[in-house]
A and B are shown apart, each in its own frame.
Chain A
Amino acid sequence: MATKDRIAGAALALFALFVLSESRKLPLGTIRHPGPSFMPVLLAALLLVFAVLIAATGGRAERFRSLRWRELPHAAAILGACAFSALALERLGYRITVLVVVFLLVKLVEKKSWLATALVALALSFGSFYLFYTLLRVPLPLGPWGI
């Protein structure tokens, strides 16, 4: 039966195996003189053991199919907005990026009115820029035309 613990254990075991495979590209050293991949190999081996134990003892855990994913569409949209901010931050500058991200989330995801969206986007974008860049002197990226 696919329970939450078994799925998690299997995923962690796969990750541990991936790390073990990648560690082969680096010198392992010896037990007495460990090399750069000694610690990663040791930790990946430990993770593998814990993952197998989690999967083995996870038979009585909650079934994976019983998990509810109601918030997933929202979560995916938020992650998408974050990815956009990472791509745009140094290209479009802080203020334009925040304007677009807030527009995406408030208007398209939350479906709020145009006026509310515009007010929140402008306030957050220019307000936070003024607070952090101008007052607190936190370096933030500027976009085209110095915006």
Chain B
Amino acid sequence: MLETLHNLYLGFSVALAPTVFLYAVVGCVIGTLVGVLPGVGPLAGISLLLPASFGMDATSAIVLLAGIYYGAMYGGSTTSILMRIPGEAASVMTCIDGYAMTRNGRAGPALAIAAVGSYIAGTVSVVALMLLAPPLANFALRFGPPEYCALLLLGLLALAYMSGGSILKALAMAALGLLLGMIGIDPMTGFFRFAYGVVELGDGIGVVPVAVGLFGLSEILLTAGEEAPPEIKKPRLADLLPSRQEWRDSAWPIGRGTVLGFLIGIVPGSAHIISSFVSYAVERRISKHPERFGHGAIEGVAGPESANNSATSGAFVPMLALGVPSGPIPAVMLAALMVHGISPGPLLIQQQPELFWGFIASMYVGNVVLLILNLPLVGVFVNILRVPYPFLYPAILIFCVLGVYAVNGSVVDVWIMIAMGALGYILRKLDFETAPIVLGVVLAPMLEMSFRQSLAMSAGNYTIFFSRPIAASMLAAGACLLLLSLLPLLRRGADWRGALGLATSDDKEDIHET
């Protein structure tokens, strides 16, 4: 414990250095803007700033990018509550009761609870990250290729299991993503696979063009043609204070959302999105008055908002401790670290203590900055949405193209983004989730390498995956998830997600359309 406090002191001395602190504040401001703007998720925002971070030192770069990530979680709630526009996907659930509260004249308390819940969840989850990452990294030193292979498989199955829609569709999307990740030079034999003479594809398809295309561009394509911006209700600062009853009603949902979000965040997948769905479902399930949900229940704001912030910290655990990204956003951040010659993994904490603890401390600082930014300045950020969409989306589009091009200075990446945008548009029209594709692209090279290394270790004997306890346990957990998710399909009955009241992709579409 004393060692942790000493390390934290070291972290704060890094995070409060003027340059690093400035980048944390800039990241939070950009993140809030990114969260407010529909169509620009945290991934597009991070991708855009990725090339700019190449000139910084590694600590400043990761602090800036992380600031954008959790800043977007705060910003996304503002437009969900005031306008029923989820600035980014994790805020979809906040739209339901947050906007109902706005219509009931309680927009201020909804914003305040969302910000306070986000702050508490953000801070508590950073403590959990701080305590969990070092022992997990020590544990991960025992991992060999079979364990990594099992872990990656478990992650993909967990994502498919937690996805809102059909499990078959999620598995198909994961397989599609893994297939896309096969493009490029085979690292073990040097064969060019599916590159068709395009030299730039030798290194494979980059996660940034795939993710910006599937999330950013497809969102613009789906919302194109929409006219005037919706009415904006701006609360005054004096109206922000929640009543005593509202504080009481929010306390437990914030606590539960924090724990739930962090745990879901550790599991690979679009953690911040899934966590808010699960939190909303849990709150409605255990509420004594579930009929209030959808009509302005503050628990429906407090839970999901806390969960999605907590999940962002959770998502950093496998990234920092194992070197395995739990989703597209940590994957881009991993790429940023690698550009600086740092490879996250079990040895990162020992070899780069300033970076790790500086990053942790900057998250405490960032949460305070965001709380200060989001409550008094809510009106300023919302004003961006007064810009008519016909002027707004060309700007977002230009930033998408710029961000994708600047990563490698390659037009091929822009073409990949366009293809992925069109694919994402069609898939979303057909009710497919696109998150498993991105994760598949990220995990494919690691999965294949660990699979083939394992077989090389065992001279082609597949029992290596079952004879090692850690790998066998993870594979067993993955098999359980697969069975659990296929069970309702076999029974042709309602699955547990329906029973929990988790929204399907159809529900999300409804919210987008409203």
Which residues does A use to contact B, with CB under 8 Å?
A: 4-5, 7-8, 12, 15, 19, 22, 26-27, 30-37, 39-40, 43-44, 46-47, 50-51, 53-54, 57, 67, 70-71, 73-75, 77-79, 81-83, 85-86, 89-90, 94, 98, 101-102, 105-106, 110, 112, 116, 120, 124, 128, 132, 136-141
Q: A50-B168, A79-B221 are in contact. Are A124 and B398 (CB under 8 A)?
A: yes
Chain B residues 298-330 with CB under 8 Å of chain A are none
The CA-CA distance from A82 to B397 in the complex, in Å, is 8
Selected contact of A46 from candidates B175, B421, B422, B452, CB within 8 Å: B175
Residues of B within 8 A of A (CB): 51-52, 55, 166, 168-169, 171-172, 175-176, 178-179, 182, 186, 188-189, 191, 193-194, 217, 220-225, 390-391, 393-395, 397-399, 401-402, 405-406, 409, 411, 414-415, 417-418, 421-422, 425, 427, 429-432, 448, 451-452, 455, 459-461, 489
Q: Which of B186, B399, B411 contacts A89 (CB 8 A)?
A: B411
B385 shortest CB reach to chain A, Å: 16
Task: List the 6 shortest-distance A-B pairs measured between CB atoms, nearest first.
Answer: A32-B460, A74-B224, A110-B390, A50-B172, A36-B186, A136-B52
Q: Give the secondary structure class of B's interface.
A: helix
Residue in A8, A51, A139, A141 with the greatest tally of chain B CB atoms within 10 Å: A8
14 further contact pairs, Cβ within 8 A, besides A39-B452, A78-B220, A140-B406: A8-B169, A27-B191, A31-B460, A36-B188, A50-B171, A57-B168, A57-B489, A71-B224, A74-B221, A79-B422, A86-B401, A101-B397, A124-B395, A137-B52
Residue of A19, A39, A77, A81 contacting most chain B CB atoms (<10 Å): A39
Residues of A contacting B489 in the complex (Cβ-Cβ under 8 angstroms): 57
A12 vs B180: C-alpha distance when bound (angstroms): 13
A112 to B182, CA, bound (A): 44
Residues of B close to A141: CB separation below 8 A:
409
Decide yes or no: A90 and B411 within 8 Å by CB, A128-B399, A132-B406 being known contacts. yes
CB distance from A86 to the nearest CB of B (A): 4
Q: How far, in whole Å, are A32 and B189 apart by their CA atoms in the complex?
A: 16
CA gap between A86 and B429 in the complex, in Å: 25
Q: Which residue of B lies closest to A69 (CB)?
A: B429
What residues of B have a CB within 8 angstroms of the CB of A81 in the complex?
397
Contact of B394 among A43, A75, A101 (CB under 8 A): A101
Does the CB pair A32–B459 fall under 8 Å?
yes
Contact partner of B194 (CB less than 8 A), chosen from A15, A22, A73, A77, is: A22
> Main SS of chain A's interface residues?
helix
Complex A-B: 24 CB contacts under 8 Å: A8-B169, A12-B172, A15-B176, A22-B194, A34-B455, A36-B186, A37-B193, A40-B182, A43-B182, A54-B166, A70-B225, A71-B224, A75-B224, A94-B402, A102-B394, A105-B390, A116-B391, A128-B399, A128-B402, A132-B402, A136-B51, A138-B402, A139-B406, A140-B406
Residues of A within 8 A of B395 (CB): 120, 124
Complex Cα distance, B194 from A37, in Å, reads 10
CA distance A124 to B391 in the complex (A): 10
| Least distance between B497 CB and chain A CB atoms (Å) | 17
Complex: A36 Cα to B182 Cα, angstroms: 9
B452 to chain A, nearest CB (A): 6
With a cutoff of 8 Å between Cβ atoms, the chain A residues found around residue B415 in the complex are 86
| B205, chain A: closest CB distance, angstroms | 14
Asked if A34 and B452 sit within 8 Å, CB to CB, the answer is yes
Residue contact B224 to A78, C-beta cutoff 8 Å = yes
Q: How far is the CB of B491 from chain A (nearest CB, A)?
A: 13
Distance between Cα atoms of A64 and B141 in the complex (Å): 51
CA distance A45 to B402 in the complex (A): 37
Chain A residues contacting B168 (CB-CB under 8 Å) are: 50, 53-54, 57
Give the complex CA separation of A112 and B176 in angstroms: 40
Cα–Cα distance between A89 and B460 once the two chains are bound (Å) = 48
In the assembled complex, the Cα of A82 lies from the Cα of B405 at a distance in Å of 12
CB nearest to B190 among chain A residues:
A36
Bound CA span A39–B455, Å: 13
Contact A75 B175 (CB under 8 A): no
B411 neighbours in A (Cβ, 8 Å)? 86, 89-90
| Cα of A75 to Cα of B428 in the assembled complex, Å | 13
User: For A70, A79, A89, which residue has the most chain B Cβ atoms within 10 angstroms?
Assistant: A79
B169 close to A54 (CB less than 8 A):
yes
Contact A36 B430 (CB under 8 A): no
Q: Could you tell me the distance between the alpha carbons of A102 and B452 in the complex, rounded to whole angstroms? A: 48
Q: Is B398 in contact with A128, judged by CB distance below 8 angstroms?
A: yes
Establish whether residues A86 and B418, one from each chain, have CB atoms under 8 Å apart when the complex forms.
yes
Report yes or no: B172 in contact with A54, Cβ–Cβ below 8 A.
yes
Contact: A74 with B405, CB < 8 Å? no
User: B169 to chain A: which residues have CB within 8 Å?
Assistant: 8, 54
Contact of A137 among B55, B390, B409, B414 (CB under 8 A): B55
**A33: min CB distance to chain B, Å:** 6
Contact in complex: B179, A44 (CB < 8 Å): yes
Contacts of A26 in B (CB 8 A): 191, 193
Report A-chain residues with C-beta under 8 Å of the C-beta of B220. 78
Query: Least Cβ distance of B30 to chain A in Å?
Result: 12
Bound-state CA distance A98–B175 (Å) is 36
Q: Given A82-B421, A85-B414, A112-B391, A74 and B225 touching (CB < 8 A)?
A: yes
In the assembled complex, which residues on chain A have CB atoms less than 8 Å from the CB atom of B427? Answer: 8
Nearest opposing residue in chain B for A33, CB measure: B460
Q: What chain B residues lie within 8 Å of A53 (beta carbons)?
A: 168
Q: A37-B193, A39-B182, A50-B172 are in contact. Are A138 and B414 (CB under 8 A)?
A: no
